[in-house]
Structure 1
Amino acid sequence: MEFERVQTVASLSFDRETIPEEFIRPEKEQPARTASHHGPVPEIPAVDLGDPDRENVVRLIAEASKEWGIFQVVNHGIPCELISKLQDVGKRFFELSQEEKELIAKPPDSKSIEGYGSKLQNNNQARKSWVDHLFHKIWPPPSINYKFWPTNPPSYREVNEEYAKYLREVADKLLTTLSLGLGLDGNALKEGAGGEEIEFMLKINYYPPCPRPDLTLGVVAHTDLSALTILVPNEVPGLQIFKDEKWVEAKYIPNALIIHIGDQIEILSNGKYKAVLHRTTVAKDKARMSWPVFLESPGEFVVGPLPQLVNKDNPPKYKTKKFKDYMFCKLNQLPQ
């Protein structure tokens, strides 16, 4: 397991006033040097999913997805107690010894991203991100590999299975609303992304306290390769969205879900909805954590602009391809 040990931030030993050179971002990416807003800072739209005026919900989500590529939802139906349990069991896993966490490490030769580790993208750059993570699928049952689910704490599996049950209902509601916002049948985007075979990939991000948060990033600027990402944060700020040539920090709303439009919905909508460019900063004295779930098409499933949104006046803006091929290009930083 030595391969994974050198890949994780939690296993580092270093001077508490500095960080290793490989974590220092180029100047143009350093949080202290990048532009911020002057005057009132715009806030990411927040939408009440419990609003009985369904047309208003559709309008607000569609507007946010076109203008921001991200929004937060409240009154989403997932019990607050369950979100707290999800956060608690994830936090307890990352507080385990390095040796115990490495029992479910991502194998060095694995083609999957599932498991505990740090390395995600395949590139030759020496720069690293200030984050450790755990990936595993939580739905549908045939896609789940329980060897990457922690057995400690003992309640981890029960809590995550309960969360998956509620999350599927939220995902269906969001995909339906986003479809209606395009003037389509409610099932259009879900079917276009894989229907009942859409895979729910959970990632737990753990960003340890960092002595020089001005020089590094938890996750560098990117868009998600998923169709949709549904994220639970903890109370430590850090998620930033690139809007109008500035980085905007996501305001923490207790028990809200943060919804990212991913690459596949941008493709399916032929560019009407925008995948959000975002990054994560880290804190000096606190550990930041987040629990995104990526809604991904099955590998062999073909995704492209929906035929209903394409005509001679609005030709396809994206290639149609298997999701596994899209993912390969994205992770290896190859052109699509």
Structure 2
Amino acid sequence: MTATIAPSRVESLASSGIESIPKEYVRLNEELTSMGNVFEEEKKEEGSQVPTIDIKDIASEDPEVRGKAIQELKRAAMEWGVMHLVNHGISDELIDRVKVAGQTFFELPVEEKEKYANDQASGNVQGYGSKLANSASGRLEWEDYYFHLSYPEDKRDLSIWPETPADYIPAVSEYSKELRYLATKILSALSLALGLEEGRLEKEVGGLEELLLQFKINYYPKCPQPELALGVEAHTDVSALTFILHNMVPGLQLFYEGKWVTAKCVPNSIIMHIGDTIEILSNGKYKSILHRGLVNKEKVRISWAVFCEPPKEKIILKPLPDLVSDEEPARYPPRTFAQHVQYKLFRKTQGPQTTITKN
């Protein structure tokens, strides 16, 4: 059985019994050559591995222990721009609640989820949706999602948060609050590592009142031809920081030193990406890494991403003067966050190899 017209939801398409995917989901030839079996990829022990950073020592009372931990974070942020955070201070119980709430929502019938559907054409991006084709390649991604602002509390719209399951609002609210504390801890350490005052990067991305946490559940159904499709195409995040949980099904790949590296599943960890915003502020010292998501035919993959974003118009993003010199001139022009997003959208229309955030 072969489908020619894709329904609006990937989940519906995946459960329809098709054996081959519609052409809109088949990736470009230059992408296909580097896509393998994600379960085999994850088992590889040789080659580069995504670093694991122990967060508890960053808050140590011992200056030597703290200094060493900050340097390890700095090295990972400069070399990779992505890492597994362990001992991050958020309880396993709360993380499990967030995962159960998200998984339970996606287990609802599609018609129930459609009550929360967004309308991207009108600019209403919050809610339940599927990725529209980009104008460069015309390809679709093998993914449905649920997206909404989750913090600060006074800026969120609870009317578009799922009522089922009942624990969704309490669990995601508490998790977002905890993540906000973690973001402060990370931004402080990243500031100190660059020789800046502890609160500098946090201030530059909006501080406690203006930094927005955008919550996105990514749902990747089983795919009958995973060697032809991507859950998420190659992109960098526009955010300051991105924090990701997942259901321990591999899929994340990073483009590191000219090769695609598959991230291992590290129990009780949170994956953290440095986003474009911090790369710009650090004048390229910290790295926003190109990454993508593979799919498979055996297991559904779910990830829970939180994008920490500066306000769209209030702040001019540019390399901090402290990090610019004659030897290291500014590598990025001044832009608001909104202008940076538009710049990446515009670049996306210029050819298939450029990138865009998955917010």
Which piece of structure 1 moves more, 150-159 or 12-21?
A: 12-21
1:192 to 182, 204, 228: 204
User: In 2, Cα distance between the equivalents of 1:112 and 1:70?
Assistant: 30
> Paired residue for 1:325?
339
> Paired residue for 1:211?
224
User: In 1, Cα distance between the equivalents of 2:33 and 2:99?
Assistant: 27
> Paired residue for 1:22?
24
> Paired residue for 1:57?
69
- In the TM superposition, 1:36-55 aligns within 5 A as 40-51=46-57, 52=60, 53-55=65-67
Gaps of 5+ in 2: 1-5, 351-355
Which piece of structure 1 moves more, 163-172 or 32-41?
A: 32-41
User: In 1, Cα distance between the equivalents of 2:120 and 2:186?
Assistant: 36
> What's the TM-score, normalizing by structure 1?
0.93
- In the TM superposition, 1:78-93 aligns within 5 A as 78-93=90-105
* AA in 2 matched with 1:272: K
Which piece of structure 1 moves more, 323-332 or 224-233?
A: 323-332
Query: 1:32–1:214: 8 Å Cα contact kept in structure 2?
Result: no
> Paired residue for 1:147?
159
SS at match of 1:176: helix
- In the TM superposition, 1:187-266 aligns within 5 A as 187-196=199-208, 197-266=210-279
User: In 2, Cα distance between the equivalents of 1:237 and 1:157?
Assistant: 27
- In the TM superposition, 1:260-275 aligns within 5 A as 260-275=273-288
User: In 1, Cα distance between the equivalents of 2:132 and 2:104?
Assistant: 23
User: In 2, Cα distance between the equivalents of 1:33 and 1:325?
Assistant: 33
- Aligned-pair identity in percent equals 44
2:149 to 116, 137, 152: 137
Shift of 1:299: 1.0
Which piece of structure 1 moves more, 223-232 or 21-30?
A: 21-30
Shift of 1:116: 1.0
How far does the alpha carbon of each residue in 1:204-243 deviate from its partner, in whole angstroms, 9 at most, with x for none? 0000011111111100111001011011111100001111
> Paired residue for 1:305?
319
How far does the alpha carbon of each residue in 1:224-270 deviate from its partner, in whole angstroms, 9 at most, with x for none? 01011011111100001111111111111112011101000000000
Gaps of 5+ in 1: none
Which piece of structure 1 moves more, 136-145 or 5-14?
A: 5-14
Query: 2:147–2:215: 8 Å Cα contact kept in structure 1?
Result: yes
How far does the alpha carbon of each residue in 1:82-103 deviate from its partner, in whole angstroms, 9 at most, with x for none? 1111000000111111111111
User: In 1, Cα distance between the equivalents of 2:67 and 2:45?
Assistant: 33
Shift of 1:330: 2.3
1:97 matched to 2:109? The reply is yes
Query: 1:270–1:309: 8 Å Cα contact kept in structure 2?
Result: yes
Shift of 1:181: 1.3
1:66 matched to 2:81? The reply is no
Deviating runs (4+, > 3 A) in structure 1?
A: 13-16, 31-39
- In the TM superposition, 1:158-169 aligns within 5 A as 158-169=170-181
> Paired residue for 2:184?
172
Q: 1:46 to 1:21 in 2, by over 3 A?
A: same
Q: 1:124 to 1:222 in 2, by over 3 A?
A: closer
Shift of 1:192: 1.2
Q: 1:136 to 1:121 in 2, by over 3 A?
A: farther
Q: 1:277 to 1:32 in 2, by over 3 A?
A: closer
Q: 1:31 to 1:290 in 2, by over 3 A?
A: farther
SS at match of 1:87: helix
User: In 1, Cα distance between the equivalents of 2:45 and 2:151?
Assistant: 43
